[in-house]
Amino acid sequence: MYKVFVNNTPIILSTKKSIEDYEMIPIKEASFPTIIRDILNKEAIHEEAKYHLYHKKEDKLIEHLYSKLPVVVAGGGKVYNENKEILFIRRNGKWDLPKGKVEKKEDMETAAMREVEEETGVSGLEITKFLYRSYHIFKRNGEFRLKVTYWFEMKTNYNGELVPQKNEGITKVRWKNTKKAKKALQDSYSNIKLLFSHDYLS
């Protein structure tokens, strides 16, 4: 099963033929602009839209998803320092994790570390493991696009100045301990929350 987020509303992609209370559409027949507009309209009046896109073969779900919208591939990091604090950024009025678009001929790991460093000023990064691939839909130049972000866990012993990349709309960069991270996640995005254990979300 996959979740593709429109703001904080997930579109469910799965091989199940039905999920209770969800409108089921074969993914081949799905009109993403129509679904997205319905989700946004319902969000505006505080109603919940529930869409479930189905295909009997799991690999076909992503294949069809990628054919429905222009795809932007990004890399990002959940970064720990020596004190086990996690690196957060503040952008668009929400707490987020650093991430950004993969450049031509750049591998995912390099892109993720470069974006973390550019957005926060943190260097000396080392990837410890791959975490997760998230999907969310955004609008640019009047067109809906799918952002696929490859997330990596990273560590660093950097203890210098944190420098928000202001031309990317980042207003703050902070190291947060468990207590502060829990609070930040209450003012974050659903696809970011997926990167954290229930301990942080309870």
At 112-157, the pLDDT tens digits run 999 999 999 999 999 999 999 999 999 888 899 999 999 999 999 9
Q: Give the pLDDT of residue 18.
A: 86
> Measured in Å, how far apart are the chain's first and last C-alpha atoms?
23
The fourth-level CATH superfamily of domain 77-201 is Nucleoside Triphosphate Pyrophosphohydrolase (3.90.79.10)
Determine the average pLDDT of the residues in 160-182.
96
Per-residue confidence band for 37, with pLDDT thresholds at 50, 70 and 90 = very high
Tell me where in the chain the CATH 3.90.79.10 domain(s) lie: 77-201
Q: Give the pLDDT of residue 202.
A: 57
Stated pTM of the model: 0.91
Per-residue confidence band for 199, with pLDDT thresholds at 50, 70 and 90 = low
**Model confidence at 200: pLDDT above 60:** yes
